[in-house]
Structure 1
Amino acid sequence: MNQTLIQKNHMDVYWHDYANSMGDIPITEAPLTEKASIIGRSGLMLLSCGTGAWRVRSSMNTLAEQLGITCTANIGLMSIDYTCFDGDNCFSQSLCLTNTGVNTSKLNRLEQFINEFQKEGKFMSGEELHAHLDDIEKIHGLYSPIALGFAAALACGCFTFLLGGGLFEMVCAFLGAGLGNFVRCKLAKHHFTLFLCIVSSIAVSCLTYSGLLKLAEALLAVSTQHEAGYICAMLFIIPGFPFITSGIDLAKLDMRSGLERLAYAIVIILVATVTAWIMALILNLKPVDFPDLNLNQYSMLIFRLLASFGGVFGFSIMFNSPISIATSAAIIGAIANTLRLESVDLIGFPPAAAAFIGSLTAGILASLIKNKVGYPRISITVPSIVIMVPGLYLYRAVYNMGAMSLIVSASWFASAMLIILALPLGLIFARILTDKSFRFCT
């Protein structure tokens, strides 16, 4: 069907209508409605980048203070209800996104806009400010679906090694994840619904991995034990960003945003894991253990550093990060994730405790780098710990539930939940230690 024939469910907001009749006067002298339009639009654009409610509200407050008004905002996953006061008048508005996602490149530009508003923005007219926001809004994606496919392939290939897979599993997961994410990006680019994008991409990933495995079995007599890696080919779908930001929002008592983000992440997890389970039944795949890699301690350490770097770099590119931000996140992720894995193997830490230490380390390192290079903290911290999200555990929980092995399923699910809880807690405490403004509820 021709896309132009589909009527939009969310009507467009014509932002320039707020400013066209006001001339070229500075925004600080404009009426309340025009000031509020800048604040609301900036907040909505920040929300569209995937950042949490606390950051969105903080940015809206910064703009309001520069414009000499008061702003209160109630923020969810995809909508903002806000009210602006100037002492005499009051203006309220409800704004809604058409979709949600992650775009750290746009987030970086928006934070620059907020930080430079006092020096430059407050002297511009409303029309000029909306034109500037138009330019930022055009930053849809730095990378093509093919590039994002390669990013997912790199991330999942490295993820496979970190979960215990060998070279064969890494190659199959690389190709499966690459094709799967390519399909997802192509469908998302044409605005297909979330469920269709998830189901289609997971099906393609599983079919690709299974096809390569069957071909290798026939031509190279490869062991069927290598089928364990098919789970890794679908881990690009794990919603690490909303998982982590939901925990941060809940810690700041932004209950609406935190719960909505958590529900969104759970929906993706459920659809993805159930789809993968159905594909496993169709293709006769089972989540068995990986063959032993037979690597010594020092070789494992080096390969873990390299795989963690590659995995975080791939995930960061999938979040539309520029190369510089992706590299910074990858360096942090390599250190933090390797520390997590070594804590389990060498010290015997429980996986959840090790996850807390890893995310705490990532948060502290991100704060140190942020102060030097000026990147948004969340664009570095979240990609660096997404690789720690236990997608394998969640899948095995659903698989065993489907097989009615409820005790085994509950064990995998409990282990996954402890790690998922530990990851945002680590970032939260790192933020409390390094950011004075985050320590208080004001």
Structure 2
Amino acid sequence: MDHEQNRGTAGIREALEQAQAHLSHPHRTRVRHHNHMAVPWHEVIDCDDMLAVDADIDDKSSIICRAGLLKLAGGTGSWRVRDCMNKIAEVLGVTISVAVSLTTIECTCIDGHRSFSEVLSLPTTGVNTERIWLMEQFVREAQADGHTWTVAEFHDRMDAIERKPGRYAPWKVGLASAAACCAFVFLLGGGPIEMGCAFVGAGLGNYVRRILLDCRLTHFVSIGIAVAVACLVYLGCLSVLSLAVPGALEHEAGYIGAMLFVIPGFPLITSGLDIAKLDFRSGIERLSYAVAVIIVAALVAWLVAMTVELHPDEFADQGLTAPVLFFLRLLASFVGVFGFSMMFNSPMRMAATAGAVGAIANTLRLSLVDFAAMPPEAAAFAGALVAGLLASAAGTRTTFPRISITVPSIVIMVPGLYMYRAVYYMGMFEVLDAMEWIMRAVMIILFLPMGLALARAITDPEWRYCS
């Protein structure tokens, strides 16, 4: 098409001009080009002042694909991305066929005898629950009034969503992860010393990771550096504390809790939900990404542990009565889920809602294991099921996306301790112990999305059926 040819010619001309400028000024600092080029959305449309329902198919496709890309950038699963794009397509009067993966969207729009295909990709992946929420509000507004919007008005609204900065500064995100990991350590069985050192280690570790990500450092390098910082800071806190508290160095087991802020809860859970909807491409890619994050974090932590001779020993008995333990678990679960929600850029009310759901579901899970002798895997299934049902009930009273409540509430159930111990024993070539911890972790991880999937099938008619 002429429009596509003009865009291609302009790109070639720009590249030639840059090359000529570089040859003319050989001593000038080399310009670093982006591997993923940004799409100038307002420049690729033909008639920005035309009603979108009357626009050409390529302009309609740009609106639909950009909406899906923004939803995907929030970290939600492929089913919700496709649902968002389908609803916008219905408003614009076209039919679409979409394939979604972890970072890419392939979409073909069909309008009568004409069709138009696009492929779009994200430079990286992440989680932004506020963006998911804003995009759901955008879709509802488009369904109500989109037939009166021009092409430019669609893109202007999406510009506002895309340009909205994160809610929390790096130090706030670090503080949120510190509180979450401190609560996580208590739920794993740690005491005040482990909790305090994990608070400092996780806070500084995630602060460093956020700074590195803001500087566009590659994803896995940021994770590796952050985990190393968290573990070393934990050890430093123990060393300082040992000057005043005899035996403080015996509480080294809690260093695992200091690195649990890197647990890829969103991709782990959404991978299971995607596979449950037979979207294997997205599900397998998300699962592969989550496994890669876990492996990088665990290997870096193992290297640090071997260097400074840390060991993932069992925690000492907390010595708490059942009523006190129940209340503290309820409080710690709320704090942990609230902290993880802030790390996912949830507004305060959304984080508090997720915290309340997670407090009930996670305390139930732990109580079933301790007081009903239920296997941890079955208890994880029950906890995820309850979290999904409670999130559905909360959704009827709020406009918060269901996934922004369910995933943070069960991230705290992900067995990060088991996964690290598996890698630790693997590095020590203790194969039987490594396989035991791997199987324990895998079983729990499998049952978490199963519980959520069942809850969604019970409460969400749209998700329940194939079409």
Would you say same fold, with TM above 0.5? yes
SS where residue 339 of structure 2 aligns? helix
SS where residue 220 of structure 1 aligns? coil
Is residue 408 of structure 2 the alignment partner of residue 383 of structure 1?
yes
SS where residue 373 of structure 1 aligns? coil
Residue in structure 2 matched with residue 297 of structure 1 by the alignment: 322
Residue in structure 2 matched with residue 53 of structure 1 by the alignment: 78
8 Å contact from structure 2 (residues 253, 312) kept in 1: yes
Q: Which moved more, 1:221-230 or 1:251-260?
A: 221-230
8 Å contact from structure 1 (residues 74, 80) kept in 2: yes
SS where residue 84 of structure 1 aligns? strand
Query: What is the aligned counterpart of 1:10 among 36, 48, 67?
Result: 36
**Matched residue type, 2:295:** L
Structure 1 residue 225: deviation in Å?
2.7
Structure 1 residue 23: deviation in Å?
4.7
Query: What is the aligned counterpart of 1:175 among 187, 191, 200?
Result: 200
Structure 1 residue 218: deviation in Å?
2.8
Query: What is the aligned counterpart of 2:355 among 321, 326, 330?
Result: 330
Is residue 221 of structure 2 the alignment partner of residue 188 of structure 1?
no
2: CA distance between counterparts of 1:5 and 1:396?
44
SS where residue 95 of structure 1 aligns? strand
Q: What TM-score comes out, normalization by structure 2 length?
A: 0.93
8 Å contact from structure 1 (residues 151, 178) kept in 2: yes
Is residue 237 of structure 2 the alignment partner of residue 212 of structure 1?
yes
Residue in structure 1 matched with residue 428 of structure 2 by the alignment: 403
Number of paired residues? 440
What's the % identity of the aligned pairs?
Answer: 50
Q: What TM-score comes out, normalization by structure 1 length?
A: 0.98
8 Å contact from structure 2 (residues 63, 151) kept in 1: yes
Is residue 157 of structure 2 the alignment partner of residue 139 of structure 1?
no
Residue in structure 1 matched with residue 132 of structure 2 by the alignment: 107
SS where residue 105 of structure 2 aligns? strand
Flag structure 1 segments of 5+ consecutive residues without an equivalent.
Answer: none
**Matched residue type, 1:312:** V
Structure 1 residue 300: deviation in Å?
0.2
Superposed, which structure 2 residues align to 1:30-45 within 5 Å? 30-45=55-70
2: CA distance between counterparts of 1:141 and 1:5?
28
SS where residue 214 of structure 1 aligns? helix
Residue in structure 2 matched with residue 320 of structure 1 by the alignment: 345
Q: Which runs of 4+ in 1 moved over 4 A?
A: none
Superposed, which structure 2 residues align to 1:132-281 within 5 Å? 132-281=157-306
1: CA distance between counterparts of 2:106 and 2:30?
30
Structure 1 residue 363: deviation in Å?
0.2
Q: Which has the larger radius of gyration?
A: 2
Residue in structure 2 matched with residue 372 of structure 1 by the alignment: 397
8 Å contact from structure 2 (residues 61, 116) kept in 1: yes
- Closer, same or farther: CA 304–58 of 1 in aligned 2, 3 Å: same
2: CA distance between counterparts of 1:438 and 1:3?
53
Residue in structure 2 matched with residue 98 of structure 1 by the alignment: 123
1: CA distance between counterparts of 2:263 and 2:31?
33
Q: Could you say what the CA RMSD is over the residues aligned between the two structures, in angstroms?
A: 1.2
Structure 1 residue 119: deviation in Å?
1.8
Query: What is the aligned counterpart of 1:89 among 102, 105, 114?
Result: 114
**Matched residue type, 2:40:** Y
Structure 1 residue 223: deviation in Å?
3.8
8 Å contact from structure 1 (residues 312, 329) kept in 2: yes
Structure 1 residue 3: deviation in Å?
11
8 Å contact from structure 1 (residues 18, 33) kept in 2: no
8 Å contact from structure 1 (residues 105, 139) kept in 2: no
Structure 1 residue 4: deviation in Å?
9.0
